[in-house]
Each structure stands twice: as structure tokens, then as C-alpha cells.
Amino acid sequence: MYESRSHCIVWHSKVMTFQCNRCHTQINLTAGTIFHATKLPLVIWFQAMYFMTQTKNNVSALELKRLTSVCYRTAWRDKHKLAQVMIEREETTILSGRVEVDDPTWGVNTQEAKPVVVQRTRCHS
Ligand SMILES: [Zn+2]
């Protein structure tokens, strides 16, 4: 058991829990995050986040399934959960100043949509 002044680490089978040395409240590492009570290893979540944010085109649940080696249902759920979190986080952000978009694609039909390449320059706010 690890111990510091403020907290100690308690293991409940394979789950690591932090316990406050004053009030003995126990808290899980993922408490208060979207990973709370997940059974999926965090490394899979982080892989999914990486693929969802590093792919220029939207990554499908089927592709995420293949990339992270999980079942389709898990890939679909992870994708939607992560996308929802990204939406919620960004919806309060208001862009201001000069905003430049790099390599965007507009249009509903991806075969008809033509990519518009904007030269990458520094953003000036
Ligand atoms: Zn406490």
C-alpha cells in the first residue's frame, strides 16, 4: 500500500482506489470523467481518441472496431460517447479574431464535395 500525507492507495481486487487520510473517502482514478465505471482498458479509450482526432475524414465505428480491436458495439458506443464529449466541450467556445481553416471539405455527398485547401498560416487573434 502506497501512502502519502494526503492520501493512500487501496486496492480492491485489481481496482486502484485513492483514499483520503483525513475523512477516508475513497475515489476511483476515473471518477468524474467519461471513463467512470468503464470496463474497457483506458489504453483502448486513448487509442480511440487518437484515431478520432487524427483522421481528417470522420472515422467510422467499423474502422474504429478494426483499429482498436474491440467489437462493433463497443466501437460504436465509444465513438458516440467521445463525439458527444467533444461537442459539449466545444459548444461553449466562440471563435474570435481571424480564424483560418486548414484543408476543410464542405458538402453532404463526400464524392461531390471538393476539398478546399487553405494555405496554413499562423492564427492571429
Ligand atoms: Zn478527505
- How would you write the pLDDT of the chain (125 residues) with one tens digit per residue? 666 788 888 888 877 888 998 999 998 888 889 998 888 999 999 999 999 988 877 899 999 999 999 999 999 999 999 999 989 988 888 888 988 877 766 666 666 655 555 444 444 43
Given a contact cutoff of 8 angstroms between Cβ atoms, the answer to whether 69 and 41 are in contact is no
Rounded distance from Cα 23 to ligand 1 centre (Å): 4
In whole angstroms, what is the distance from residue 32 CA to residue 14 CA?
20
Question: By C-alpha distance, which of 45, 24, 28 is closest to 37?
Answer: 28
Distance (Å, whole) CA 45 – CA 74: 10
Q: Rounded to two decimals, what is the model's pTM?
A: 0.66
CA of 32 to the centre of ligand 1 (A): 16
Kindly give, in sequence order, each residue whose CB lies less than 8 Å from that of residue 122, ignoring residues fewer than 6 positions away.
none
> Residue 49: what are its φ and ψ, rounded to 5°?
-60, -40
Q: Which residues, chain by chain, have CB under 5 Å from ion ligand 1? A: 20, 22-23, 25
Question: In degrees, to the nearest 5, what angle opens at C-alpha 11 toward C-alphas 8 and 15?
Answer: 120
User: What does the domain layout of the chain look like in residue ranges?
Assistant: 1-31, 37-92
